Amino acid sequence: MSTPNFRKGTAAFSVIFLFAACQTFPTPADRDTLMKLEQFEFIGGNLLSTKKELQLNYILEKIKGKEITEGMKTGKFPPAMHFFRARELIEQSSVFNIIQKMPKGAGLHLHEYALLSVDWLVKNATYLPNCYICFTPMDGIRFHYFSRNQQKRLANCSEWILLEQYRKQIQNVTEFDNSLYRNLTLVTENPEEAYQSQNIIWKKFANVFTAASSLISYAPVFKTYFYEALKEFYHDNVQYIEIRALLLPVYELDGTLHDKDWSIMAYQEVARQFKNDNPDFVGAKVIFSVHRKLNNSEMKTMINEAMELYKKFPEILAGFDMVGQEDAGHPLWYFKNELLIPAKMGIKLPYFFHAGETDWEGMSIDENVLDAFLLNTSRIGHGYSMNKHPVAKQFSKKFDVPLEVCPISNQVLMLVSNLQNHPAAAFMAEGHPMVISADDPAVFGARGLSYDFYEAFMGIGGLKAELTTLKQLALNSIKYSAMSAQMKAETIKLWLKKWDQFLDVVLHMFNSDEL
């Protein structure tokens, strides 16, 4: 790295200065100072830039300005459009192209059945021998791998059909495979018509998950799926991931069922293997997650199991969370007795609670974002509604508990339509602790983290977001991960090397005229 130099303002700026600077009513003479202060407050605004960073930032902001101005003029600005319609436009964007090349650090908010492009499931998993399909009355599909004549009929599903045979009988296999794709993602041409309420899209979302899990829970698919997922993130220049996982039983062809230990060890084995094959990848961790519709006694069992697993698999298990549609499940506080068991027993079990993935202010679910702190969460999954909770926000800032912001997920799952209105815009402007993640890229038709970084950089941050914003977001993702201090230090070192290569590569893409 070359010597850092001062880019914006001086190190004398600080958050305290924001308050101090606003004690007297401003005059026109204060303009430069106040504008610098706002830039400084912005996420990444207090990072110093190297010469190369300054050069790339100059180019990047020029390209970005052009793309934003074009979007304003045409009314076709990807972050203001539904991702299903915006994706193609995003792929044509030079900013996106640069973001793809950038080392993005860690993906901290991801779910185990939606990591890898669905193409892989359709083109590989469903083409394996012994793969059967059945159809549910509500337009869903389920898969299962059986030894010949060992099929067991699933409740609420048609008879099992062997895919190998079925594909031989039908005329248009491509069309059939496309229909599988449609059943394994939320992607559709007219999302507003297909999904007329949050409840409707969450039903389909759950359906898609169950369908995908029915493929992925087959032991041979399970490991390959995770390996391929790591590869997809690796190719998207992501160095490390943490996945929320239900640790559902994984089965063999002969019907043998594997338990949670097996799944965790499988994740660990695959992650190690992948790291062996690709030494510039750091690894993966698992956050054991259960559905928020459990009852109290089920939750108690799960918490006890989580404590055991955390003790047993310290390398790979990061902690505990709850999943499912927040508005439709129990509030965190409903489980207070169960969630406080580890603390009462003096046993460590870090929490990574989803909280505030809601538009519904003042309902009982809306307290999750505050209760997550009372229950000692290490991060906040989404925290979409935290802007409506000044006390929770204060704790988040003061105790450096970051939000895991997943722009495309929040848009597709109908919390917000135009990402310029995402509440994280205010958090970015205030330099609030946060990371960017992708939640369920496979289900949304995205890949890796680049699409979400693009939305955050162009839509949520607007033209105010600069190269240092991207750098800070990547650095944050390492800082706020569940890695050990030593592993973080090594990852930062690796990341800095990649960052330097990234600067060189992108600077070479542009000829000297533009500098």
Residues numbered 70-89 forming contacts with a copy of itself, rule: CB under 8 A? 72-75, 80
Please, which residue, 1 or 34, has the CB nearer to a copy of itself? 34
Rounded-to-integer distance, Cα 414 and Cα 197, Å? 8
Please, which residue, 121 or 465, has the CB nearer to a copy of itself? 465
Q: Is 489 in the site for a copy of itself (CB under 8 A)?
A: no
Please tell me which residue in 382, 389, 422, 432 is annotated as part of the active site.
382
Among residue numbers 433 through 462, which ones bind a copy of itself (CB under 8 A)?
461-462
Q: Mark residues 146-185: x for contact with a copy of itself by CB under 8 A, - for none.
A: ----------------------------------------
Residue 192 is a catalytic residue: no
Tell me the CA distances in angstroms from 82 to 96, 323, 408, 444, one per residue in order. Answer: 17, 24, 9, 11
Instruction: Compute the CA torsion angle 463, 467, 470, 472 (nearest 10 deg).
Output: -120
Q: Is 394 in the site for a copy of itself (CB under 8 A)?
A: yes
Amino acid at 76: K
Among residue numbers 223 through 262, which ones bind a copy of itself (CB under 8 A)?
none
- Joined together, the tokens standing for residue 244 give 């929320």
Residue by residue, DSSP assigns 416-439 as: -SSGGG-THHHHHHTT--EEE--B
Under rule CB under 8 A, how many of the chain's residues touch a copy of itself? 72
Among residue numbers 10 through 49, which ones bind a copy of itself (CB under 8 A)?
18-19, 21-23, 25-28, 30-31, 34-35, 37-38, 41
3-state SS, residue 145 = strand
Q: Is 363 in the site for a copy of itself (CB under 8 A)?
A: yes
Residue by residue, DSSP assigns 277-345 as: H-TT--EEEEEEEEETT--HHHHHHHHHHHHHHHHH-TTTEEEEEEES-GGGS--GGGGHHHHTHHHHH
Q: Is 429 in the site for a copy of itself (CB under 8 A)?
A: yes
Rounded-to-integer distance, Cα 131 and Cα 472, Å? 45
Please, which residue, 1 or 20, has the CB nearer to a copy of itself? 20
Residue 37's CB: how many other CB atoms inside 10 A?
Answer: 19
Binding piece for a copy of itself, criterion CB under 8 A, among 83-91, 300-308, 312-320, 420-428: 420-428
Tell me the CA distances in angstroms from 333 to 338, 346, 373, 375, one per residue in order. Answer: 10, 20, 11, 9
Q: Is 371 in the site for a copy of itself (CB under 8 A)?
A: yes
Q: Is 416 in the site for a copy of itself (CB under 8 A)?
A: yes
Helix (H) or strand (E) holding 181: helix 173-183
Rounded-to-integer distance, Cα 390 and Cα 132, Å? 51
Please, which residue, 257 or 391, has the CB nearer to a copy of itself? 391
Please tell me which residue in 228, 326, 357, 367 is annotated as part of the active site.
357
Residue 91 is a catalytic residue: no
DSSP letter, residue 379:
S
DSSP letter, residue 351:
B
Q: Is 208 in the site for a copy of itself (CB under 8 A)?
A: no
Q: Is 206 in the site for a copy of itself (CB under 8 A)?
A: no
Binding piece for a copy of itself, criterion CB under 8 A, among 116-124, 267-275, 287-295, 463-471: 463-471
Q: Is 63 in the site for a copy of itself (CB under 8 A)?
A: no
Active site (catalytic) residues: 357, 382
